[in-house]
Amino acid sequence: MSLTLEQVRRVAHLARIEISDVEASSTLGQLNEIFTLIEKMQAVDTQGIEPMAHAQEMVQRLRDDRPETTDPGQRREAFQALAPETGDGLYLVPKVIE
Amino acid sequence: MIASNLQQLAEALIRKTISSVELTQLYLDRIARHDHQLNAYITVDAAASLAQARWADQRLAKGEGGPLTGIPIAHKDIFCAAGWRTTCGSRMLDNFVSPYDATVIRRFAEAGAVLLGKTNMDEFAMGSSNETSFFGPVRNPWDVSCVPGGSSGGSAAAVAARLAPAATGTDTGGSIRQPAALCNLTGLKPTYGIVSRWGMIAFASSLDQAGMLAPSAADCARLLNVMAGFDERDSTSLDRPTEDYCREIDARQADKPLAGLKIGLPKQFFGAGSDPQVMRLIEAAIVDYQTLGAEIVDTSLPNMDLSVAAYYVIAPAEASSNLARFDGVRYGYRTPVYRDLNEMYSRSRAEGFGAEVKRRLLIGTYVLSHGYYDAYYLQAQRIRRLIANDFAEAFRHCDLLLGPTSPSTAFKLGAKAADPVQMYLSDIYTIAVNLAGLPGVSIPCGFADGLPVGLQLIGNYFSEARLLNAAHRYQQSNPWHLRLPPAFAE
């Protein structure tokens, strides 16, 4: 199997990573080498084998949906101090709907 | 002082032959003197470390000291620590000062340990040489023209040069064991689920596990006693009874301390793929294990050769999901120039992530995309099952498995940087352990042309006490781990 330049561009778009034409073509070569390694898997007959998603067989624990802190406002301030742009306690991004 | 193990340091602190402030300052001075040669640390904050040391001294003065009280420990820069810059080796988090402590950091703080600094690492723990860090490569104290291994390369270089008595690391495909091997350290990757992942920046959540790098197995056991334990905040944390991981190490030394222990040699670890000098030292260690009383048996992990292929589907797939959070909105890097929201996302990610991270995000996005999911992702998970089954079969007749940690000693900086596949194959002996979720340890077993060689021991689930004891008994009669790199021995 071999990827195409178009596929690399499409995957980069899905991953929201801007990619130039020069980068896309050098990435194509590297990805194809990596997929040559990965393709070894296709020779193995895994019919009837249960996929293993996780190292430990366990059930998802549930907890009560309660805030841990008694002062959520203070946490908001601490967390928003890290943001590139905020206003009125909100995270600011470019306008999405005109 | 730099030759002391953690037990000796704890005793010196309790006897007041040294204070925590003095000990912390000693290591801060060593960092100031030597780290320009290694680049092992990303962030050092002497005032914060010394404040913790003063508090530890107060506890020690009141007789409240525990096994790690007052001891400085370096932490891989993947663990969030409140008030500390936490970068994960990435430009994306260059300006990120964590508002909270990871559970691992909190447990060390509660034990009275001092946070000595944040160590360099491959970007988002993706790498085997510490060359993908935004903050520059780390160098190996045994030969500064060589890599220290990765991704916990800063932790490995720091401890190997004794710029810290011990350090934490994380291991997703070998990122503790391989740098431990390349830097003459003991490095443990515990059973998946026994150390909390909360506050540890996620790479591949079903594989990531925190552990430690230290000179000796006994040191690792003391650190694991502090690190391991149930955490409600980590949904994959295992709720099981507390263990003393030192219990077998502290037991009385018998004439044949490992009598009755069956060690299996999986034939896949002994093929043609390794440096013959490495294999000669592994063979010598096998004889040493027989001398200690262990019984050596042949075994096989028939699907191990598929582990790298399966890993490079599963780990990038999980990473592509985990790293979707870095979008330039709530924290982290945002590009200065953009026209709309989509461009802000894709340009922030293009500029904030380095080449290896982007490569893996593309692989992960591809294998999860419509039409490829079954052929890649599900097939990789089925192979993961086959690999885990191989281990289960081997542990029916063996207590531990033994082989090399890495197929070669430390390689030169730049030697594999342009060839991702060659770099990925550096982890050929470590990845299967992560896929199965088992504990594994690398211990020093000699030198080839002046560079350290690591021996890997793999145990069944929750066998850390036995695994570390098997490492400890070898270290009692083969003290390779006490050798210091000459340039950093003063």
Per-residue model confidence as pLDDT tens digits over B139-151: 999 999 999 999 9
Tell me the C-alpha distance between B38 and B488, whole Å.
11
Residue with the two structure tokens 């009141």: B62
pLDDT over threshold 80, residue A67: no
Tell me the C-alpha distance between B68 and B10, whole Å.
6
| Residue B283 at interface with chain A, using a CB cutoff of 8 Å | no
Q: Where are the alpha helices (DSSP H) in B99-253?
A: 103-110, 153-160, 177-182, 217-227, 247-250
pLDDT over threshold 70, residue A1: no
The reply to whether residue B192 touches residue A83, judged by beta carbons under 8 angstroms, is no
Question: What would the two tokens of residue A9 be?
Answer: 């561009």
* Cis-peptide into A20, omega within 30 deg: no
Mean pLDDT across chain B, nearest whole number? Answer: 97
pLDDT at A58: 79
pLDDT at B315: 98
pLDDT at A59: 80
Contacts of A31 in chain B (CB under 8 A): 359, 362-363, 366
pLDDT over threshold 90, residue B467: yes
pLDDT over threshold 90, residue B418: no
Cα of B309 to nearest chain A Cα, Å:
4
Residue B183 half-sphere exposure toward CB, CA atoms < 13 A: 40
Q: B interface mutation test: which of A20, A35, A38 has the most B CBs within 10 A?
A: A38
pLDDT at B12: 97
Cα of B487 to nearest chain A Cα, Å:
38
Q: Taking Cα atoms as reference points, which of B54, B46, B66 lies closest to residue B20?
A: B54
Q: Which residues pair with B147 in a beta bridge?
A: none
Report B:290-319 residues touching A (Cβ under 8 A). 303, 305-306, 308-310, 312-313
Q: Where are the alpha helices (DSSP H) in B145-274?
A: 153-160, 177-182, 217-227, 247-250
The reply to whether residue B97 touches residue A82, judged by beta carbons under 8 angstroms, is yes
Q: A interface mutation test: which of B343, B382, B438 has the most A CBs within 10 A?
A: B382
Summarize pLDDT for B344-381 with one digit per residue, the tens. 999 999 999 999 999 999 999 999 998 899 999 999 99
A25 Cβ neighbours under 8 A, 6+ residues apart:
A5
pLDDT at B79: 98
| Residue B82 at interface with chain A, using a CB cutoff of 8 Å | no
Q: B320 near B368, Cβ under 8 Å?
A: yes
| Residue B85 at interface with chain A, using a CB cutoff of 8 Å | no
pLDDT over threshold 70, residue B211: yes
Residues of B belonging to the active site: 76, 151, 175
Model confidence at B248, in pLDDT bands (50, 70, 90)? Answer: very high
pLDDT over threshold 70, residue A73: no
ipTM: 0.94
Tell me the C-alpha distance between B143 and B240, whole Å.
43
Spell out the CATH class of A5-43. Answer: mainly alpha
| Residue B359 at interface with chain A, using a CB cutoff of 8 Å | yes
Nearest CB partner across the interface for B385, out of A49, A61, A82: A49
The reply to whether residue A14 touches residue B343, judged by beta carbons under 8 angstroms, is no
Contacts of A83 in chain B (CB under 8 A): 329-331
Q: How far is CA B83 from the centre of its chain?
A: 23
Summarize pLDDT for B287-333 with one digit per residue, the tens. 999 999 999 999 999 999 999 999 999 999 999 999 999 999 999 99
| Residue B124 at interface with chain A, using a CB cutoff of 8 Å | no
Q: A interface mutation test: which of B192, B323, B327, B366 has the most A CBs within 10 A?
A: B366
Model confidence at A72, in pLDDT bands (50, 70, 90)? Answer: low
Summarize pLDDT for A42-60 with one digit per residue, the tens. 999 999 999 999 888 778 7
Cα of B290 to nearest chain A Cα, Å:
32
The reply to whether residue A16 touches residue B349, judged by beta carbons under 8 angstroms, is yes
pLDDT at B140: 98
The reply to whether residue A31 touches residue B236, judged by beta carbons under 8 angstroms, is no
pLDDT at B254: 79
Q: Which residue does chain A place closest to B309, by CA atoms?
A: A38
pLDDT over threshold 80, residue B105: yes
Q: What is the percent of chain B with per-residue pLDDT over 70, rounded to a whole number?
A: 100
pLDDT over threshold 70, residue A71: no
- Write B27-30 long-range contacts (CB < 8 A, 24+): B27/B72, B27/B116, B27/B163, B27/B164, B27/B165, B28/B116, B30/B2, B30/B161, B30/B162, B30/B163
Residues B261-290, mean pLDDT to the nearest whole number: 96
pLDDT over threshold 80, residue A98: no
Model confidence at A65, in pLDDT bands (50, 70, 90)? Answer: confident
DSSP for B267-334 reads GGGGSTTS-HHHHHHHHHHHHHHHHTTPEEEEE--TTGGGHHHHHHHHHHHHHHHHGGG-SSSSSS--
> Is the pLDDT higher at A65 or at B33?
B33
